[in-house]
Amino acid sequence: AAADPFSPRTARTPSVAGTPASTPVGTPCRLWPAPSPAPPEATPVGDFGLKRLCEQLGMACPWPRRKLTVLLVGNHSAGKSSFINWYVQQHVQTTGVAIETQGICLVTAGRRRETLRGPATLRLFEHLAPLAALGATHALSTQICSSRARTFRLITFIDTPGMVDGEFEYSFPVQESIEELAEHAELVLIFFDPNMQALCDRTLSVVRSLLARGCAHKLRCVLSKADTVPSDADRNKVLVQLTQTLTSRTGISLRDGIPTLYIPPSADTGTPRTPGPPGAPGGQEAWLPRRHDNYDHNQNIPNYIFELCAEFEQAIEQTVESTLDRAKCDAAALLDAALARLATAAAARASNR
């Protein structure tokens, strides 16, 4: 028997694209055509970027300056790590009277707190590959910090080992490594504390080598821990001795003198002090330097630290501008090299016909 066309089991539905003319009631129908299968993804070309293209064309491929790089050099216990902790507003570097930093530590901003060792550091900072040839891979480390204080997200600090004389031996060539790092830094801060008074021969040797390599415009010499000097007279004596020692033994030009620097109290920064590491002796603020007990705290001490922060911001703007200018020049040179290679290939094909 013929099926009843009005039976609910065989009711006809409107013929629409993508749906048969007769389907059982209750079957969902498509009001639009079925989507065509997604086109296959583009075939990856591999790691063929600007770096590989420059290598094929025989051109240098400079590392793009995405952040300001600040290199910190100085005697041990000169306040390099304390300055980084103050700027970042977190306890990133270990501080103390002893030689706490015996390797090269890069402090940079990231999404979460993380520590990288030597091989991972070289993968993150490819331009530091020459340090591996110097045998300094084991001494490298990176502290990734999530701080958003000041302009830290646009700065990478490089903390170097404290310089000492005598029989102390480092596990890698410190001076050669600092010279290589200075080539990639926009600013090099030389820290001298009042106790050492720039009498460390290794520090002076580093200053001489950096001057010989044309890094004079990057150097900033500062007298750190200026608030630990009991009086203005003593501080002036230290500054005079430090200036005479540097100019006579290194030949550096200090026409504007050596500025004084110290970690300001929380009242000067407008922000609370960051707690120290868990279990730090002396409470949460024990990791911050203390002022001299005999010093009059109401007396104003010139502090270069805020001018240094302003110089960081200015250097960041200059770094961005110079990076863009360098990118334009590199792109033009790359285009000229590619066109020259194509012209040579076309001439070779014409001569073979």
Chain segment 236-261, per-residue pLDDT in tens: 998 998 999 899 999 998 888 899 99
What is the share, in percent, of the chain residues with pLDDT greater than 90?
38
Q: What number is the average pLDDT over the span 226-240?
A: 89
Residue 128 in tokens: 């530091």
**Whether residue 27 has pLDDT greater than 90:** no
Instruction: Order the strands of the 140-145 sheet from edge to edge.
Output: 114-116, 140-145, 104-109, 155-159, 68-74, 187-192, 219-223
137-180 pLDDT, tens digit per residue, is 999 999 999 999 999 999 999 999 988 876 678 889 999 999 99
Q: Residue 180: phi, psi to the nearest 5? A: -70, -40
* Lowest model confidence (mean pLDDT) among 89-98, 116-125, 131-140, 169-178: 89-98
Q: For residue 91, what are the CA distances in angstroms to 70, 83, 84, 180, 330?
A: 18, 11, 9, 27, 40
Tell me, rounded to whole angstroms, the distance of Cα 117 from its chain centroid. Answer: 15
Q: Which amino acid is at 115?
A: T
For residue 187, count other CB atoms closer than 10 A to its CB: 19
Measured CA distances, 263 to 237, 286, 295 (Å): 21, 13, 15
Contacts (Cβ under 8 Å, ≥6 apart) of 305: 83, 86, 261, 262, 263, 264
Helices and strands in the chain: count of H runs, count of E runs: 9, 7
Q: Tell me: the pLDDT tens digits for 319-343?
A: 888 888 888 888 888 888 888 888 9
Q: How many other CB atoms sit within 10 Å of the CB of residue 226?
A: 24
Task: Estimate to the nearest angstrom the gap between the alpha carbon of 232 and the chain centroid.
Answer: 36
